[in-house]
Structure 1
Amino acid sequence: MADTMEQVQHLIAARKYEQAAKALDEAISAHPDDPTGYTNFGNLLIAMGDSGRAINFFKKALSLDASNGPAAFGCGNALFELGNYQEAMTCYSDAQQAGINDSDLFYMIGRSALELGHSGQALAAFQRAVELNGADVEARFQYALTLAKLGDLDHAEKQFLTVVDANSSHADAYYNLGVIAAFRDQTESARQSFERALELNPQHILASNALKNLDKKR
């Protein structure tokens, strides 16, 4: 079963969804009481954009093992994709209680908390995600955004700079560095950041508008 699930993960990553579904069908038929097959089928359905059906597979996995952390986490992800953020948070809490303690979980807790308007909870979750995986650029970016939203611009700037150090093509991080510089009346620094964001993404409307506003102040 473990070898099959590893194969399935590679197939999903390669977007070979039909092959993955076939392998999972066979695994579930051979091991109908093993929650792993149902959990991975749920993850496959999320990848395919069918989060509604995915929930049924996660629930089946949880009916076989109520403390199955990956199934609870997957169910939370499906609910998040459907916009059911409060229910997603409940599932993420269940996943934590089942022993999951990784960056991906805390990142999704942070995303859900933001959607629910709980900025403080989001900040703590993103910070934990970064602590667990310093290479998670998207978690760090969201951490920086939340710091900025809460008015801690000094720490936000440091995090955005770390993001662009890790990913020099992160247009949104450059845009936000520009916003911080503009707020401090550091016009030239702001201009450079906005221009860099536009170089990386010519369709970056916020950076384009920000540059126009700087020009008006000349």
Structure 2
Amino acid sequence: MDALNQGIQYMQEQKYEEAAQSFTQAIEENPEDPLGYVNFGNLLLHMNDLERAERFFQKAIEKDPETATAHYGLGNVYYEQQKYEQAQEPFQQAIKQGLEESDAYYMLGLSFLYQEQFKLAMPYLQRAAELSPEDADVHFQYGLCLAQVGLLDEATQTFHHVLELNDQHSDAHYNLGVSHLFKEEPYKALEHFDKAIEIQSDHMLAMHAKGQVEEMLNSNKENE
């Protein structure tokens, strides 16, 4: 087994010191191969050494600007530092260079989402959901984005799909409750708030929303 693959195996086994030694050897043996730098960058990113990880991904891009995984890694470095605007360009480059994977679209979509640029986020989160039909979290974020742009029926449908994938997803129940409130269906909203609290007893948003709905319903009864 060559040094690069040996390093990847060590990393999977959580033998990080050995992985670092193998990646160093791979770079020394093939200094023009960007993959040695990418994998060392991934290791450093995993260890939260973001400053050094950035340097390794940049080095990989210098060696070959078409290395999609180097751009993706660089995007993750900026994303982890909540530099969402800075993360956009490398994620876009990763996709442009052929990284047709759900994670790339998902991270780019989240980078826009966390800047509240919901219309820009939506097509990327939609593509991520298409590429990961079984990933509840990807579909949940897509549902949030749909809700933010006012597509409530589509958002509701997506949150129901999240619950098909994971019936213990408390945030999906909470957001379904909010959707029903917008549709003026308070009793259906309460069902989902109750379910969110049943799954996660400290779900503050669901508890607050439930209290407000119950107060409103009690007030309506008193005024009848």
TM-score normalised by length of structure 1: 0.91
Deviation per CA, 1:10-37: give whole Å up to 9, x if none. Answer: 23xxx54334333323333333322112
Please name the residue that 1:4 is paired with. Answer: 6
Give the Cα separation in 2 of the matches to 1:23 and 1:109.
Answer: 31
Give the Cα separation in 1 of the matches to 2:173 and 2:7.
Answer: 39
> What is the deviation of 1:5?
5.1
Give the Cα separation in 1 of the matches to 2:136 and 2:123.
Answer: 16
Please name the residue that 2:67 is paired with. Answer: 68
Whether 1:180 and 2:175 are equivalent positions in the alignment is no
Instruction: Provide runs of 4+ in structure 1 moved above 4 Å.
Output: none
> What is the deviation of 1:105?
0.7
The question of whether the paired residues in 2 share the 8 Å contact of 1:5 and 1:37 is answered with: no
Give the Cα separation in 2 of the matches to 1:145 and 1:152.
Answer: 10
Please name the residue that 1:26 is paired with. Answer: 25
Deviation per CA, 1:144-184: give whole Å up to 9, x if none. Answer: 00101111110000000000110111111111011111222
1:1-218 → structure 2 map (5 Å cutoff): 1=2, 3-4=5-6, 6-11=8-13, 15-217=14-216, 218=218
3-state DSSP class of the match of 2:79?
helix
- Determine what percentage of the aligned residue pairs are the same residue: 38
Residue type matched to 2:140 in 1?
Answer: F
Give the Cα separation in 2 of the matches to 1:24 and 1:214.
Answer: 57
3-state DSSP class of the match of 1:46?
helix
Structure 1 residue ranges without an equivalent (≥5): none
Structure 2 residue ranges without an equivalent (≥5): 219-224
Give the Cα separation in 2 of the matches to 1:204 and 1:7.
Answer: 39
The question of whether the paired residues in 1 share the 8 Å contact of 2:88 and 2:111 is answered with: yes
Residue type matched to 2:30 in 1?
Answer: H
Residue type matched to 1:202 in 2?
Answer: S
Give the Cα separation in 1 of the matches to 2:156 and 2:72.
Answer: 31
Tell me how many residue pairs correspond in the alignment.
Answer: 215
Deviation per CA, 1:48-75: give whole Å up to 9, x if none. Answer: 2222221101011111111110001110
Query: Greater Rg, structure 1 or structure 2?
Result: 2
TM-score normalised by length of structure 2: 0.88
The question of whether the paired residues in 2 share the 8 Å contact of 1:141 and 1:160 is answered with: yes
3-state DSSP class of the match of 2:6?
helix
Does 87-96 or 147-156 show the bigger shift? 87-96
Alpha-carbon spacing, 1:65–1:141, altered in 2? closer, same or farther (3 Å): same
Alpha-carbon spacing, 1:10–1:189, altered in 2? closer, same or farther (3 Å): same
The question of whether the paired residues in 2 share the 8 Å contact of 1:194 and 1:208 is answered with: yes
Give the RMSD, CA atoms, in angstroms. Answer: 1.8
Give the Cα separation in 2 of the matches to 1:45 and 1:205.
Answer: 35
Give the Cα separation in 2 of the matches to 1:179 and 1:68.
Answer: 43
Give the Cα separation in 1 of the matches to 2:215 and 2:157.
Answer: 29
